Amino acid sequence: MEISQNIKKYKEELGEKVALVAISKTKPNSDLLEAYEAGQRIFGENKIQEMTDKWESLPKDIEWHMVGHVQRNKVKYMAPFVSLIHAVDSLKLLKEINKEAEKNERTISCLLQIKIADEESKFGLEAEEAKEILASDEILELKNVQITGLMGLATYSDDEAKVRGEFDYLRSVYVDLKKKQPQFKVLSMGMSGDYKIAVTCGSNMVRIGSAIFGERSYN
Ligand SMILES: *Cc1c(COP(=O)(O)O)cnc(C)c1O
């Protein structure tokens, strides 16, 4: 009940310009189906095994987004079906994704994760490193990956000005890189606690989990 109402509420609030990724990690298939029946088609997970299990048992018109940190040796399990990988943070990982995409005769869309929070634990690239990857000769050889934009996680904080500053910064990096990357179209920023700020800062893809499905007991 509540899940379907939440989906409708967020879809209405976000409109057509901001894509909603329903972050369903740790939640059972029955919860995902409830969201699906309310019209949700994009789901995000952070563990490859869990995402693969869900993909196998749920309707095939779902778009699966990997939003967590990706280990190279696990790329092969999601390569047959993943539609967007949000947290790419190295050329090495891009090469692995390209290799597995090629085996599956697919092109896989990826976002580069930019470090915007000051918390040590958060993965991601400096803007300058992302620029170097995009400008490298090696990237031209990766025919089966397409980098369609950027993703970032703001500091987990009540300090709205700080969070806004981080999202504004990511938006400026996006605008700058897009000048040489006409295929850029996704700026993935904003979660349950900060999506409103993210949207006012130019996000066009938000990743909302607990506000749709309820609190998680782990992860
Ligand atoms: C879990 C997760 C989210 C969703 O977090 P909520 O606060 O539950 O909305 C968004 N992005 C990433 C990368 C996540 O791992």
CATH number at residue 193: 3.20.20.10
Average pLDDT over residues 10-24: 97
Please report the pLDDT score of residue 1 as a whole number.
Answer: 57
DSSP character for 141?
A: H
Specify whether the CB–CB gap between 23 and 211 falls below 8 A.
Answer: no
187, part of any domain: yes
What are the pLDDT digits (tens) for 52-68? 999 999 999 999 999 99
Q: Whose CA is nearest to atom 12 of ligand 1?
A: 67
Higher pLDDT among residues 203 and 218, named by residue: 203
Residue 120 C-alpha to ligand 1 middle, in angstroms?
Answer: 17
Atom of ligand 1 nearest to the CA of 86: 13
Distance of alpha carbon 173 from alpha carbon 171, whole angstroms = 5
pLDDT tier for residue 31 given thresholds of 50, 70 and 90: very high
Distance of alpha carbon 151 from alpha carbon 206, whole angstroms = 10
- Percentage of the chain lying above the pLDDT 90 cut: 95
Atom of ligand 1 nearest to the CA of 192: 9
Rg (CA), the chain: 17
For ligand 1, is residue 210 a contact (CB within 6 Å)?
A: yes
Containing structural domain, residue 35: 2-213
Residue 52 C-alpha to ligand 1 middle, in angstroms?
Answer: 18
For ligand 1, is residue 67 a contact (CB within 6 Å)?
A: yes
pLDDT above 80: residue 205: yes
For ligand 1, is residue 191 a contact (CB within 6 Å)?
A: yes
Distance of alpha carbon 32 from alpha carbon 111, whole angstroms = 24
Instruction: Indicate the number of domains in the chain.
Output: 1
Average pLDDT over residues 179-191: 97
For ligand 1, is residue 20 a contact (CB within 6 Å)?
A: no
Distance of alpha carbon 98 from alpha carbon 5, whole angstroms = 38
Testing ligand 1's pocket by substitution, the residue of 6, 20, 23, 205 carrying the most ligand atoms inside 8 A of its CB is: 23
What are the pLDDT digits (tens) for 100-132? 999 999 999 999 999 999 876 668 999 999 999
Q: Whose CA is nearest to atom 5 of ligand 1?
A: 209
Residue 209 C-alpha to ligand 1 middle, in angstroms?
Answer: 6
pLDDT above 80: residue 40: yes
Residue 122 C-alpha to ligand 1 middle, in angstroms?
Answer: 13
Interstrand relation of 63-66 and 42-45 (parallel, antiparallel or unpaired): parallel
pLDDT above 60: residue 97: yes
pLDDT tier for residue 219 given thresholds of 50, 70 and 90: low
pLDDT above 90: residue 217: no
Average pLDDT over residues 13-17: 96
Please report the pLDDT score of residue 121 as a whole number.
Answer: 61
Average pLDDT over residues 129-155: 97
Q: Whose CA is nearest to atom 4 of ligand 1?
A: 209
3-state secondary structure of 125: strand
Please report the pLDDT score of residue 122 as a whole number.
Answer: 61
For ligand 1, is residue 23 a contact (CB within 6 Å)?
A: yes
219, part of any domain: no
218, part of any domain: no
